[in-house]
Structure 1
Amino acid sequence: MTMMPSLQQKVQGVLDECVDSGAETGLQVAVCHHGDLVVDAVAGVADGRTGRRVTPQTPFFSFSAGKVMTSLIAHLLVTTGAVAYDTPVADLWPEFAAHGKATATLRHVLTHSAGVPAMPRDVGPADLTDWSRVCSAIADAEPRWRPGTATGYHSFTYGFLVGEVARRATGKPMRQLLHDWVTVPLGLDGDLYFGVPLPDLTRLARLEDGAPWPSGPPDGDALLAQWELRPTAAMGNSPEILQADVPSVGTFAARGIAAMNAAVLDGRLIDGHRLAELTAVAFEGTDQVFGNRVRLALGFPLGRIGTRPDETPTTFGWVGGGGSYVYADTATGISFAMTKTRLTPHFDTARRLADLITAEIDPPA
């Protein structure tokens, strides 16, 4: 571990200020630079009921920021030769061909262009723990557009699409592939989870709801159910959800997920050719759920929070509903992760920290 004392101190100061002001209640930030852990800062409480403090080892349920783990598993599937990016999903999962989805490929899944952004209306949060039920419902869903012709955020369907392809290709669930391919080789057991073992639940941070969420975009509300659009502490604290294999979301410690992405950047998990392929622009267009313009790599949005749309994107990662953020930067070698307990309808804290870290490690010329 090679810390940057000045940067560590500045990040710690921001975290302490956020907690002291009441803007946040508990946070973790970890930063790796060219593989070395240079920032490992925490502040506040992990559980407001008991006063238990956040530590660097505290795992947080971080909603869609966990998709970085899902996308990595997809790329490792391709690396092993189990599938190819252009393999039709239905080749492995024949039931998915229903209603004109036979042309949907893994590439379409990774670019959120498979055409099934929303969970079928008869599937609710409580059903997420029933893998077979959810996958059967998605397989029988009618696509909102012809696969590959448009993109729209696949909030919860994404993890089940990748996960069922992985299960059919390997015979293993996502939680086992994450364990076998990532956490054990990198020595991160206990830091990254799809499905938290019962004995580890007491280690987790307890989420809390923050300010009310504003009304969602009209198209988003039409396509996705409220529970798919707006995270709640009730979902993130649910023992049933936490223990289930739901790879649209994830539980992790900031230092663990930053270390994982550092291993992606430096070639320990993905070779240079594959890294270039997975971080290239794979789809540009208007997101059919949120209405914004997006640039997507294979499995990741491109560009850091707060960067201008005309900037060449070198970062890839995921935000998590409620304000968590994970990204890696191929140009600077930065791997950043921030987890937090208070769910907010904005990413102000994440943006502030990401800007600070980039300015300190890669100052403008």
Structure 2
Amino acid sequence: MTTTVSALSEKVRALLLDQIQRGTQLGTQVCAYRNGEMIVDAWAGEIGPEDSRPVQADTLFPSFSTTKGVAATALHILADRGVIDYAAPVSEYWPEFAANGKERITVAQAMSHQAGLHAAPPNEVALDWDRAIDFIASGTPAYEPGTSTGYHAITYAWVVGGIVQGASGRHIKDVIQEEIAGPLGIQGEMYVGIPDGVEDRLAWLQSPPEPTPEQAAMNPMANLPDDHDFFKAMPRTGALDWNSMEVRKACIPSANGHFTARALARMYAALANGGEVGGVRLVSPERIAQMSRVQVDTPDRVIFMPIRKSIGFFNGGKTMGMHGATGPRETAFGHPGAGGSIAFADPDVNLSIAVTINKMQGTLQAEGPTFEICELIRKELGVNA
């Protein structure tokens, strides 16, 4: 992979060092492509709160829901080959999914969080692929599918995994390796469920500090009732330990992807560049518009705010006059992750950006330091409007 050391890359690194000095970052990587060429490749900081080794370009960062965009890309590659039809019922590929009123849910609806299956399984189920697939197949929608949207924070893993497995006969982690990582030359930098032998390259997450009483009172979740859909999707207590090897080695393609920023930016560079980067084509040029087309933009029952969702991705654009880290264009698509990671493609300006972090921020859509990084890159390129 060719690295272009540019003035922009140096400015990004300077920002990372400033964020670390301010205490808003611990360790991070940033990579960006424009017109299929790498324009930013920067990293700084420490691997973890109790591991002072410096972050390297190949450090693997657990990236939470940024994983969803990689899993969605695997599904879209199959769709581009005619293996999956977005308008088809999920049950056409996965007959068991039809149980309990789900027989008419389409792939597009399921992948844009309109299936009503957001309630998370018990931890022991989440760590067992076959049990988790059965959990989704036998689930009962929380509302009439297609009439509302509620973020499938964890359960997206087995929605997309079940569709891919049913349609192709292949495990989604194999599709990711064989159709994305291998062709793009990023083997060893893109895993959903880590293999043995990469432990020394892992970043370790630092949890955000406990909020002060004043901060807690200002948090939108402070006034949510205990039975709110947010806590059904992301339970208040008993959460998985995302630093544990048990969780890291499981396959949860909604939340436990381990990536480098280079790998994520290269994948999205193809999607920002008509489906191709470096002579490797992931999808046809015509597929990009279908991948990024907004399916729903109404208020989300789980996240309690409107979010533009396409088939497996969150989209950019302005809400109440402001845009987030993905930028001002609704055609930009990708996914943020809890704590502040993000990766996305902005096809209108042939730009992709990826940010991996290990100091968890109290964000929903990569607000804070990650937003600051993405804004710097867009402003320096003159593409922030």
**5 Å matches for 1:40-79?**
40-79=41-80
Residue 37 of structure 1 aligns to a residue whose secondary structure is strand
Aligned to 1:341: 358
* Pairing 1:167–2:194 present: no
Q: Deviations over 1:252-273 (max 9, x none)?
A: 0001100011112222212221
- In the alignment, the residues of structure 1 paired with residue 233 and residue 159 of structure 2 have an alpha-carbon distance, to the nearest angstrom, of 19
Q: Deviations over 1:131-177 (max 9, x none)?
A: 11112122222101111111110111112111011112222111111
Residue 99 of structure 2 aligns to a residue whose secondary structure is helix
**5 Å matches for 1:297-312?**
297-303=310-316, 308=321, 312=329
1:293 paired residue among 280, 286, 306: 306
Aligned to 1:35: 36
Aligned to 2:278: none
Greater CA drift, 296-305 or 27-36: 296-305
Shift of 1:98: 1.6
Q: Deviations over 1:68-103 (max 9, x none)?
A: 101101111211222200121112222221221111
Aligned to 1:317: 334
Shift of 1:307: 8.8
- In the alignment, the residues of structure 2 paired with residue 44 and residue 202 of structure 1 have an alpha-carbon distance, to the nearest angstrom, of 16
Aligned to 2:290: 277
Q: Deviations over 1:233-286 (max 9, x none)?
A: 962211111111110121100011000111122222122211011112222211
Q: Is the 8 A contact 2:118 2:232 kept in 1?
A: no
Q: Deviations over 1:312-340 (max 9, x none)?
A: 51311111001111111011111101111
Q: Is the 8 A contact 2:30 2:41 kept in 1?
A: yes
Q: State the one-letter code of the partner of 1:113.
A: Q
Residue 294 of structure 1 aligns to a residue whose secondary structure is coil
* Pairing 1:252–2:265 present: no
**5 Å matches for 1:74-223?**
74-119=75-120, 123-212=121-210, 214=216, 216=221, 218=224, 222-223=228-229
* Pairing 1:236–2:242 present: yes
Q: State the one-letter code of the partner of 1:314.
A: T
Aligned to 2:272: 265
Higher helix share: 1
Residue 307 of structure 2 aligns to a residue whose secondary structure is strand
Q: Which runs of 4+ in 1 moved over 4 A?
A: 229-234, 304-307, 309-312
1:330 paired residue among 340, 343, 347: 347
- In the alignment, the residues of structure 1 paired with residue 349 and residue 320 of structure 2 have an alpha-carbon distance, to the nearest angstrom, of 15
Distance 1:169 1:124, change over 3 A: same
Q: Deviations over 1:197-252 (max 9, x none)?
A: 01112211111112236552627952244782679996221111111111012110
Q: Is the 8 A contact 2:119 2:233 kept in 1?
A: no
Q: Is the 8 A contact 1:114 1:143 kept in 2?
A: yes
Residue 178 of structure 2 aligns to a residue whose secondary structure is helix
* Pairing 1:351–2:357 present: no
Identity of aligned residues (%): 32
Any gaps of 5 or more consecutive residues in structure 1?
none
Residue 30 of structure 2 aligns to a residue whose secondary structure is strand
Greater CA drift, 272-281 or 307-316: 307-316
- In the alignment, the residues of structure 1 paired with residue 161 and residue 44 of structure 2 have an alpha-carbon distance, to the nearest angstrom, of 34
Q: Is the 8 A contact 1:8 1:38 kept in 2?
A: yes
Any gaps of 5 or more consecutive residues in structure 2?
276-280
Q: Deviations over 1:180-208 (max 9, x none)?
A: 10011110101111111011122111111
- In the alignment, the residues of structure 1 paired with residue 97 and residue 134 of structure 2 have an alpha-carbon distance, to the nearest angstrom, of 8
Q: Is the 8 A contact 2:125 2:132 kept in 1?
A: yes
Q: Is the 8 A contact 1:209 1:233 kept in 2?
A: no
Q: TM-score under structure 1 normalisation? A: 0.92
- In the alignment, the residues of structure 2 paired with residue 7 and residue 229 of structure 1 have an alpha-carbon distance, to the nearest angstrom, of 41
Q: Is the 8 A contact 2:123 2:240 kept in 1?
A: no
